[in-house]
Structure 1
Amino acid sequence: MKTKIINFFKLIFPSTYSELAVFLFFITCYGILGSYIAFHYRIIFDSRIPWDAYFSFDNKSILMTGGSFERHPLSYYFFNWIREFALFISDGKTDVTFRLTLAWLSNLMISLTMVQVFKYLKNIIRLPQRVSVLIILFFGIFSTNIILSFTPENFTYTLFLLTLYNYYAAIKLRKEEKTPATALSLAAITIGGLTITNFVKVFIPVLFEKGLFKNWKRSGNAVIRVFIATVCYVLLYLNRIDFKYENIFSKTNQQYEKFSNVETMPTWDMIMSFFFGGNILFPGFIMTDKHNMKGFAYKGLYMDLYSSAFSYLFIVILLILISWSYLKNFKNKWVQVIMISFFMDIIIHCIMRFGLHTSYIYGGHFVFIYPLMIGWLFYAYKTSPKIMSLLTLTISLLFIYLFFNNGFRMSEFFWFMETYYQ
């Protein structure tokens, strides 16, 4: 038992000096950003603003209710703990201390996400440390990570849990071990409980366990483990809604209609600017007038479509790298686990069009795939110095452009907060 507890903490937290350095670097950078915003602005939490203050995040609504049960089945319980902890620290007040606590919880989650991705690059792909550091720095300034580092939302915790589970599952596949029913159930409840569309992703690594389709005992064991995890999840979900399962279908249909019928922008441009782009490279912003249904008016900020050819070029180059990595590593089971998960999000948002006009907020479900696939591309050419140099140069140039673009857009975000949220 003692060994299991130690291994559990080693899995989640930094366990080497390089991992600790990554953690300290990001928790410091994100911490400075989040602390400044919490101290000087009320945008992280304002009791009058339930949703959409910035980029369609629902900070107050999520903290108070966990979000809608049909999309976030069990997050009600999770955010009860988050809210009560923040109120305990702030002495029951939703003041600057309350905002600061929420920001630092988010900061901790995103910083640990960086550690999980770094561990994957170092221990699963086994890249040279300089390459792992370049990739993690590149990943660290993705727009999703910057925003989620101070945002108390489902996506903040989902991103951490997905990266943690992917690293854990990758270790199991490397050791040719089965993922225990307990781990599957816990992952299904936490990951699927925060966002229902991620529930199936938990079982993808099971498909690649050694000898699964060659031995009926292994197949039967896998079915039992999946069945146990599913039953645990479903029972908790039904208990959350007092077993009124008919509400799931009616509410889900309403949500789909609400978030899938947007005709004001070209579909291809929303896919490029929002789904593939907005999670990584900030586009320009649009301000809108909002109200809380109770007479209070406020300003909201949304992402716009890209207006620069350089932004489209950036995303195209990144997608070429990801596609190249997938084709080069097609027979790699770790790569298949990652990409099957990604394809699920593409189907939901790009093909079914659910939330496509605001798909930049869903980055927490899949944005970690980019650094991992870039890592596998480096791995595929580890014996080719010329291509390794080319890839290093390409990522370095993308990093420079991303750094200056996102830095400039964050200055616009600060102007927005300075003007409307002091």
Structure 2
Amino acid sequence: MHIKSKFINFLKLVFPSGITEWSVFLFFLICYGILGSYIALNYRIIFDSRIPWDAYFSFDNRAIIMSGGSFERHPLAYYFFNWIRELALLISDGKMDSTFRLTLAWMSNITVSLSLVQVFKYLKNIINLPLLVNILLILFFGVFSTNILLSFTPENFTYTLFLLTLYNHYAAIKLKKDEKINPFALILAGISIGGLTVTNIVKAFIPVAFEKNVFRSWKKLGNAVLRVFVTCICFILLYLNRIDFKYKTIFNKTSEQYEKFSNVKTTPTWDMISSFFFGGNILFSNFIIRDKNAKGFDFKALVMDVYSSWIPYIFIAALLLLIFWSYFKNFKNKFVQILMISFVFDVFIHCVMRFGLHTSYIYGGHFVFVYPLLIGWLFYSYKSSPKMVSFLLSVVGILFIYLSINNYIRMTEFFWFLDKYYQ
């Protein structure tokens, strides 16, 4: 009975529960589903066997589906995408056709929709915000460029978004009850999250540092260290097994990747940070069409440019102002600290170390969920001030309207690109 109750609780955690959560899930499932289905059935861009990478916005669709991506960045993704590919092939009767693309698109659609449910659950169950605020924030989050693109894109980021939102919600539940994070849950989170993108394993450990009195008791601290250590050992052994214990190749490949993705000088650093890292994950910028060649095949690729108007910069500045306002207003709140530390970790990797900064608009699955959650905590901090809540609702509402209009227009440009080059 204990195992049965654990399983039921797990299902309630992962999937929608109640009319409101099911409504959120079905709404986004239908919206994203229509978009993804149309693209999959009418265009070949989701999966084209001739194009391993970069067809649109630097996503590596074919390479990810066939191999899970490079082992030094995505060490265990190979196993995960093996069954995704085989399931899609089973449904498409072994053909990599429109049915194959449709299956991949719907897997992404369901995953992103469940990610939004996790964010909604956090807003509702952890922050305890009013339904109106929850709906506005989840709609705002739903039209982020990252969620729109990942809803039909079979990529590591798609599934990382779900795993990170799920784990953050789970960890918040545990911390709210003053309970420690289950060692098996921590191991599972470390292996799954770190397995898809190796650097993200750090995010699995952040909530452990905020368990009750963990630094005031040697016993609790030792228990926390032991859980983290065991998780690391399990992850390292699986990682080494993936590469036949040829550990030197990790350092060689990692160095190659860092040199390749960190030395782009065509765009000013400040503009890549604002337009790509902080902006492109949320608000589509201008698009550029480039000629590409992969393994002897010439094709057209779509990438993002920096913003050409002052309005998007104002939008991003306003959004960041809300984020940091929330952080300083809730500085003593452990849930807010967990979210911000996780976010700062990505800022360090991409903005300070400059890894992939020129294409950082594709990394949104690692951190964009932090935005609605931190704004949610800002609403919470003013729950006893109706005027401030009304002001914040107005600000987020204006941002939501502008974001929706901008991203809709940019998606029409995306479809023009598909009509011209990928029918």
TM class, shorter-length: over 0.9
**Distance in structure 2 (CA, Å) of the matches to 1:195 and 1:286:** 28
Partner in structure 2 of residue 317 of structure 1: 318
**Distance in structure 1 (CA, Å) of the matches to 2:294 and 2:346:** 30
Give 1:361's aligned amino acid: I
1:346-357 equivalences in 2 (<5 Å): 346-357=347-358
Partner in structure 1 of residue 399 of structure 2: 398
The number of aligned residues is 421
Partner in structure 2 of residue 408 of structure 1: 409
Partner in structure 1 of residue 280 of structure 2: 278
1:375-386 equivalences in 2 (<5 Å): 375-386=376-387
1:54-73 equivalences in 2 (<5 Å): 54-73=56-75
1:23-422 equivalences in 2 (<5 Å): 23-293=25-295, 295-422=296-423
Shift of 1:291: 1.3
**Distance in structure 2 (CA, Å) of the matches to 1:131 and 1:201:** 27
Shift of 1:197: 1.1
**Distance in structure 2 (CA, Å) of the matches to 1:397 and 1:113:** 24
Give 2:85's aligned amino acid: R
Give 1:360's aligned amino acid: Y
Deviations 1:158-197 (A, max 9, x none): 0000000000000000011111110010000000000011
Shift of 1:416: 0.2
Give 2:399's aligned amino acid: L
Q: Identity over the aligned pairs, expressed in percent?
A: 71
**Distance in structure 2 (CA, Å) of the matches to 1:98 and 1:278:** 29
Shift of 1:82: 0.5
RMSD: 0.4
**Distance in structure 1 (CA, Å) of the matches to 2:243 and 2:192:** 17
Give 1:379's aligned amino acid: Y
Give 1:182's aligned amino acid: F
Shift of 1:296: 1.4
**Distance in structure 1 (CA, Å) of the matches to 2:297 and 2:239:** 34
**Distance in structure 2 (CA, Å) of the matches to 1:265 and 1:200:** 30
Deviations 1:24-76 (A, max 9, x none): 00000000000000010000001001000000000000000100000000000
SS at match of 1:213: coil
Deviations 1:237-262 (A, max 9, x none): 00000000000001000000000001
Deviations 1:326-365 (A, max 9, x none): 0000000000000000000000000000000000000000
Shift of 1:292: 1.5
Give 2:331's aligned amino acid: F
SS at match of 2:408: helix
**Distance in structure 1 (CA, Å) of the matches to 2:47 and 2:337:** 39
Give 1:191's aligned amino acid: I
**Distance in structure 2 (CA, Å) of the matches to 1:197 and 1:215:** 29
SS at match of 2:73: coil
Greater than 6 Å deviation, 4+ residue runs = none
SS at match of 1:286: strand
